[in-house]
Chains A and B, each alone.
Chain A
């Protein structure tokens, strides 16, 4: 059973470009979470999605960031007009399709570097 998959693993963007990060949840999982880890810090929640729905986006910056989880295909975290402060590791996690504190399984992360 393949785990959570993220691609690309490393992404370099110049200031002002767009970054698209992809996450495929574990088989049978329909809940996806995105977390960001700034250098030398812990992970911070960004957004929680179910298929075609954003459930909680309380951790998302108000501008330039968006997320989706379409009916078919991976979840996408999109960052428009990237700035140096967006350089971080972005982790995706997935959990089974029911509520109530189930274990989250994490992918290997995408390391974004903005030059």
Chain B
């Protein structure tokens, strides 16, 4: 089945710093989503982005489907950005999402 790898596994930042999170996948996809799981365990949809670029406030994401990777950019990070960021993909022969192992982000004041 399709493999999803995220990097880095852990990231520690000071407030105000920028960061880039990466998601590599091993096959063609027709669904790619980024999520933020906050320290209370709630899973928040950030982007639905099987291809192209999207922006939402301080967050933006780019997926290059032909090269099988996606990037999540966080600018001017805040302590509320702390948590785990997951990338999940779906392929053409299945509707289920395959999740990566996540990037754990800690932002300190």
Contacts and interface: CB of A to CB of B under 8 A. Distances in A.
B86 A55 contact: no
Nearest to A47: B96
Which of A33, A42, A91, A102 counts the most chain B CB atoms within 10 A?
A42
Interface residues of B, number: 24
Q: Name A's interface SS.
A: strand
Contact of A91 (B43, B50, B96, B98): B43
Q: Name B's interface SS.
A: loop
27 contacts: A33-B95, A33-B96, A41-B101, A42-B100, A42-B101, A42-B102, A43-B43, A43-B86, A43-B88, A43-B97, A45-B96, A48-B95, A48-B96, A56-B96, A59-B96, A89-B41, A91-B43, A93-B97, A95-B95, A101-B50, A101-B95, A103-B33, A103-B45, A104-B97, A109-B41, A109-B42, A109-B43
